[in-house]
Amino acid sequence: EHAARMTAMRNATDNAKEIIADLELSYNRARQASITQEITEIVGGAAALE
């Protein structure tokens, strides 16, 4: 019974780590898209002033 609980907890921990990694990747992609958008707007604004 103890071994079964340990296995279940290990699996839950592994699944949580995988979910965290996926969320971090999604967050970083969204963050990078936002940064790229800002840079594009800045460059576009600078080009319009010329």
Q: How far is CA 50 from CA 36, 38, 39, 40, 46, in A?
A: 22, 19, 17, 16, 7
pLDDT at 46: 93
Tally of domains within the chain: 1
Instruction: Determine the distance from the C-alpha atom of residue 34 to the mean position of all C-alpha atoms in its chain, rounded to a whole number.
Output: 13
Q: What percent of the chain has pLDDT over 70?
A: 100
Whether the per-residue pLDDT at 30 is higher than 90: the answer is yes
pLDDT at 50: 85
Print the domain residue range for 24. 1-50
Instruction: Return mean pLDDT, the chain.
Output: 97
Whole-model pTM above 0.75?
Answer: no
pLDDT at 37: 98
